[in-house]
Amino acid sequence: MTHQEDNMIGIIDYDAGNIKSVEKALHYLGEETVVSRDPQVLLKADKVILPGVGSFGQAMENLHTYGLVPVIHEMVEKKTPFLGICLGLQLLFESSEETPGVEGLGILKGRIVKIPPAPGLKIPHMGWNSLHLQNNGRLFKDIPEQTYVYFVHSYYLQAEDPEIVKATTQYSTDIHASVEKDNVFACQFHPEKSSKWGLKILENFASIGKEETFGKEEKEGK
Distance (Å, whole) CA 217 – CA 206: 17
Q: Read off the pLDDT of residues 21-79 as tens digits, 9 standing for 90 and up.
A: 999 999 999 999 999 999 999 999 999 999 999 999 999 999 999 999 999 999 999 99
- Mean per-residue pLDDT, 187-198: 97
Q: What is the pLDDT of residue 16?
A: 83
Just list the catalytic residues.
Answer: 86, 190, 192
Residue 10 has a pLDDT of: 98
- The DSSP line for 161-208 is -GGGEEEEEEESEEEEEEEEETTEEEESS-GGGSHHHHHHHHHHHHTT
Ordered domains of the chain (ranges, CATH): 3-220 (3.40.50.880)
CA-based nearest residue to 202, from 190, 214, 210, 211: 190
Mean pLDDT in residue range 203-208: 97
Residue 83 has a pLDDT of: 98
pLDDT top residue among 212 and 86: 86
Q: Is the pLDDT of residue 97 over 60?
A: yes
Contacts 24+ apart (CB under 8 A), 75-80: 75/42, 75/43, 75/48, 76/107, 76/183, 76/184, 79/182, 79/183, 80/45, 80/46, 80/47, 80/48, 80/183
- What's the mean pLDDT in 193-203? 97
What is the rounded distance in angstroms from the CA atom of residue 126 to the CA atom of residue 67? 32
pLDDT-derived band of residue 217, with 50, 70 and 90 as boundaries?
A: very low
pLDDT, tens digit, 9 for 90 and up, residues 128-183: 999 999 999 999 999 999 999 999 999 999 999 999 999 999 999 999 999 999 99
Would you state the pLDDT for residue 209?
83
